[in-house]
Amino acid sequence: MIRVLVAIFCGGMFGLGLVISGMTDTNKVQGWLDVLGAWDPTLAFVLGGAILPMLLAWRIAAKRERSRLGSPIPEAPNPTLDARLIGGSALFGVGWALVGLCPGPAMAVLGWGGQSVAVFFAAMVAGMLLARLPILRAQAPK
Amino acid sequence: MIQLEWVLGLLGGLVIGSAAAMYLLVSGRIMGASGILGGLIDGSNPNWERLAFVIGLVGAPLLLNSYAGYPATNITANPTLLIIGGLAVGLGTRLANGCTSGHGVCGMSRFSVRGIVATLVYLGAGFLTMAVLRHGLGWL
C-alpha cells in the first residue's frame, strides 16, 4: 500500500516537473533538437536540474543495501553496448524529433493534449508491444 | 541574458530529479517512463506500483492544471508523423531499455556507460533528424 502511494506521489511530481520545465511544449523540445535553426537550450537546464538530485541519490544509495521500503537498490547494468541499445536509441531519437514528445511528457499531457497526443500515445504503446515480437526478443539481454 | 524559461527549466528539472531520487531511495526503483509504462502494458511485469506511477504522472498535471490552465503542447505533426513518431519512440525505447528519464536522468547520474551512450545516440539521432527534415526537406 505504501509502495503504491509513493509511486503515485513520485509519478505526480514527475508530471508536474515536466509541466513546470516546459517539456510538455513540443515546440521547446524540437527547438532544442534544432541546432541549425533557432536553438532553444531549455532542455539542457532541465536535464542538468534533474541530474543534480540524482547524483546525490546515487551517493546515498551506494552506502545502503536496500531502499527504505526494503527492495534492493537496482544494480548497475553491465557496461556492454549492443545493437539493441544503439539501434533502439537511434530509433527513439528519430521519433522524438518528429513529434517532440518522449514517453514521460507524452503521459503527462495525455489528459488534455487532445487527439494528437492520443494518436501518438496509441502508436507509442503499439511500438512498445512490437518490441516483444519474438524476432526482436531473441537478442534481448538477460 | 538569462531567460525565465531557463530558470523554470532548471526548477522543473530539480522537481523531476527529486521525484527520481525519492523513487530510488524509498522504493528502490529506477524512474524510467518507458520502462514503467512498457512493463505495465506488454505483460512482462505488470504490477500496482507501475499502474500507480502512471496514474500519478497522468493525473497530477491534469488535476493541477485544471486550476492553472493547460499549457499548450504546440504539436504540429500531422497524423502520419504522429503514428511514425509514436511507433519509433515506443519500439526504440523498449529495445534500448530506457528513454530520457531512465537513461538520461537516472543512468547518466550514476555514470552508467549504457545510459551515457544511449543518451548520446538518441540526442545525435534527434539533431540529425531535425537537421535533415526541417532544414533539408522542410517537413517539420
A-proximal residues of B, 50-89, CB under 8 Å: 50, 52-62, 64-65, 70-77, 79, 81-89
Q: Report d(CA A14, CA A9) in Å as an integer.
A: 9
Task: Give me the mean pLDDT over the B116-129 stretch.
Answer: 98
Q: What are phi and psi of A78, to 5 degrees?
A: -55, 135
Mean pLDDT, rounded, of chain A: 94
Contact flag A47-B50 (C-beta cutoff 8 Å): no
For the segment B102-128, the average pLDDT, to the nearest whole number, is 97
Does residue B113 register a pLDDT over 80? Answer: yes
**Nearest of B27, B73, B97 to residue A83 by alpha carbon:** B97
Q: Whole-angstrom Cα distance, residue B34 to residue A53? A: 21
Residue A25's CB is within 10 A of a number of other CB atoms, namely 23
| Euclidean distance between CA atoms B129 and B140, whole angstroms | 10
Residue A142 has pLDDT above 70, yes or no: no
Interfacial B residues in 100-129 facing A (CB < 8 Å): 100-101, 103-106, 108-110, 112-114, 117-119, 121-129
From chain A residues 86-115, the ones with a CB under 8 A of any chain B CB are 86-104, 106-114
Alpha-carbon distance A87 to A111, whole Å? 31
* Measured CA distances, B132 to A97, A120, A133 (Å): 11, 22, 30
C-beta of residue B34 within 8 angstroms of C-beta of residue B94: yes
The span from the CA of A62 to the CA of A78, in Å, is 17
Nearest residue of chain A to residue B22 (CA atoms): A10
Q: How many helices (H) and strands (E) in chain B?
A: 5, 0
Contacts with A62 (C-beta within 8 Å, 6 or more apart), sequence order? none
Note the pLDDT tens digit of each residue in B53-76.
999 999 999 998 888 889 999 999
Worst-scoring range by mean pLDDT, A28-32, A76-80, B16-20, B114-118? A76-80
Which residues in chain B have their CB less than 8 angstroms from residue A16's CB?
A: 15, 60-61, 64
pLDDT reading at A2 higher than 70 = yes
CA-based nearest distance A127→chain B, Å:
4
List the single residue in A52, A112, A126 with the smallest CB-CB distance to B65: A112
High-pLDDT (> 90) share of chain B, %? 89
Q: Give CA–CA dist B117/B72, Å, rounded.
A: 32
Task: Please say if the pLDDT value at position A140 is more than 60.
Answer: no
Per-residue exposure over A47-78, b if at least 16 CB sit within 10 Å of its own CB, e if not: bebbbbbbeebbeebeeeeebeeeeebeeebe
Over residues B5-24, the mean pLDDT reads 97
Q: Judging by beta carbons within 10 Å of its beta carbon (0-12, 13-18, 19+), is residue B71 exposed, middle or buried?
A: middle
Residue B39 touches partner A, C-beta closer than 8 Å: no
Predicted local confidence at residue A139, as pLDDT: 54
Residues A16-25: tens digit of each pLDDT: 999 999 999 9
Place of cell 504539436: B75
Q: How confident is the model at residue A76 (pLDDT cuts 50, 70, 90)?
A: confident
Q: What is the pLDDT of residue A138?
A: 56
Q: Are B109 and A55 an interchain contact pair (Cβ–Cβ within 8 Å)?
A: yes
- Scanning A26-85 for CB atoms below 8 A from B yields 26-28, 30, 33-37, 40-58, 60-61, 64, 66-74, 76-81, 84-85
Residue B73: closest CA among A92, A94, A102: A102
- What residue of A is the nearest CA neighbor of B44? A132
pLDDT tens digits for B31-47? Answer: 999 999 999 999 888 99
Structure confidence at residue B67 (pLDDT): 85
A139 at the B interface (CB within 8 A)? no
- Residues of A with Cβ-Cβ distance to B85 under 8 angstroms: 94-96, 98-99, 101, 120, 123
Interface ipTM above 0.90: yes
In this prediction the pTM is 0.95
Q: At what angle do helices A42-62 and A26-33 cross, to 10 degrees?
A: 90
Does the distance separating the beta carbons of B16 and A18 come in below 8 Å?
yes
